Amino acid sequence: MPEQALREQIRQVVLQAKQAARRLAQASTDQKNAALKAMADSLRAARQEIASANTADVEAATRSQLPGPMVERLVLNEKRFEEMVASVEAVAGLPDPVGEVIRMWRRPNGLLVGKMRAPIGVVGIIYESRPNVTSDCAALCLKSGNAVVLRGGAEAFQSNRAIATVLQQAISRAGLPSAAVSCLPTPERAGVDLMLQMDDAIDVIIPRGGEALIRHVVETSKIPVIKHAKGVCHVYVDEAADLAMAQRIAFNAKCQRPATCNAMETLLVHQRVASPFLPSTVRQLQQAGVEIRGCERTRALVAGLAAATEDDWSTEYLDLILSVKIVDSLDEAIEHISRYGSAHSDAIVTTHHARAMRFLREVDSACVYVNASTRFTDGVQFGLGAEIGISTDKLHARGPMGLEELTTYKYIVFGDGQLRE
């Protein structure tokens, strides 16, 4: 398609979303919840249609020899489909943040000043592979009074289009504007770049995907961006760890679903517990198909391991690969995470309260755990109903982004005739 024609087509989609955002901002909680219920019911009714579209995407991705982790994230199996629909229903059951008064205070002159949550407006989301993101983002944006413009990866184009069409029809039947949820009409990369220039109509961009995608969006966008960067997540096994617990946590963090951004990529182990902990843990991981890349001390302790390179410490594998390093102290563990981590999710396993609290204070990541798997960094698991993504920024949101993170605020002021002197 010629660039000018594509620009006009995308411009029309974005302007319709802006109009829809004005109506959504005024919609009542009951109206939004009714639309969400209709969306969930319609998704279930269209299960076969969506499954057929997803099968076509997966087959095309396999033929194109896309990386295994990307194909894995693309698959919308029965379990993931049900989770996707349940997420929409869960969002309907969450409190509506719009109009919530966060704080009120009275000034000496009698003015009553407060802060009230308000929708952001139009949210643009650029993402790869996972079709459930289409539904999750649509539900969260609608409940928080925002219109959303979605641009999924070309590899999931048919799945995303099928899901979005079902959602738009349901929203319209519920009496809200169908343009509350929009997809870019083309899988062409040029469409992303054009969208990123429309700062007069889109209020924020949220990219979800690989490092190259995030970098491109940040460098190209004229619109404010909330980054959802890679997950180089760590589990540190302290000298005071319950080693049986540590082994269970390490296995879960790596193997439960390795192609996700909250999976562990590096295991750090205190040298005092390395000997009783690492051999059996490595065996269990290897039996699950994990390739272990170890530091020099790890390879001296466990024979036959590949050597970890400098690049391994900062790599998000999204696969059954794990780097392992033995450290001398909590200080060294925290320093390693600070140097190589991505400020996503990091965990300590310890029975020592003071060390746990120090880890929580000093590890500067969006989600920091004590005695739990990093795999819990997820909107549903945190009780947010679903998530737009996991922000590794510090402004305007951090960690799993739920409904509150999709609002801004306005100041509200009540007076009885006050004049400024």
Domains of the chain: 3-226+401-414 (3.40.605.10), 233-376 (3.40.309.10)
Which tokens go with 243? Answer: 């080693």
How far from chain centre, in Å, is Cα 399?
8
- pLDDT value, residue 336: 98
Residue 319 CB coordination number (10 Å)? 18
**Cα torsion angle, 259, 263, 269, 275, sign:** negative
Cis peptide preceding 234, ω within 30 of 0: no
How far CA 7 is from CA of 68, 121, 315, in Å, comes to 33, 21, 36
Contact between 322 and 290 under an 8 Å Cβ cutoff? The reply is: yes
The pTM assigned to this predicted structure is 0.89
Query: How do beta strands 122-127 and 181-183 pair?
Result: unpaired
| H helix or E strand, kind and range, residue 40 | helix 29-45
**Under a CB-based contact definition with an 8 Å cutoff, are residues 81 and 47 in contact?**
yes
pLDDT by residue for the chain (421 residues), tens only, comes to 788 899 999 999 999 999 999 999 999 999 999 999 999 999 999 999 999 999 999 999 999 999 888 898 899 999 999 999 999 999 999 999 999 999 999 999 999 999 999 999 999 999 988 899 999 999 999 999 999 999 999 999 999 999 999 999 999 999 999 999 999 988 888 999 999 999 999 999 999 888 889 999 999 999 999 988 889 999 999 999 999 999 999 999 999 999 899 999 999 999 999 999 999 999 999 999 999 999 999 999 999 999 999 999 999 999 999 999 999 999 999 999 999 999 999 999 999 999 999 999 999 999 999 999 999 999 889 988 778 889 999 989 999 999 999 999 999 999 999 999 9
CA distance 85 to 135: 8
Q: Please report the pLDDT score of residue 413 as a whole number.
A: 98
What is the pLDDT at residue 304? Answer: 96
Instruction: Say which amino acid occupies 127.
Output: Y
Name residues whose C-beta falls within 8 Å of residue 205's C-beta, 6 or more positions apart in sequence.
124, 125, 126, 196, 217, 221, 223, 224, 225, 226
Tokens representing 198 are 């429309």
Here the tokens at position 290 are 């994990």
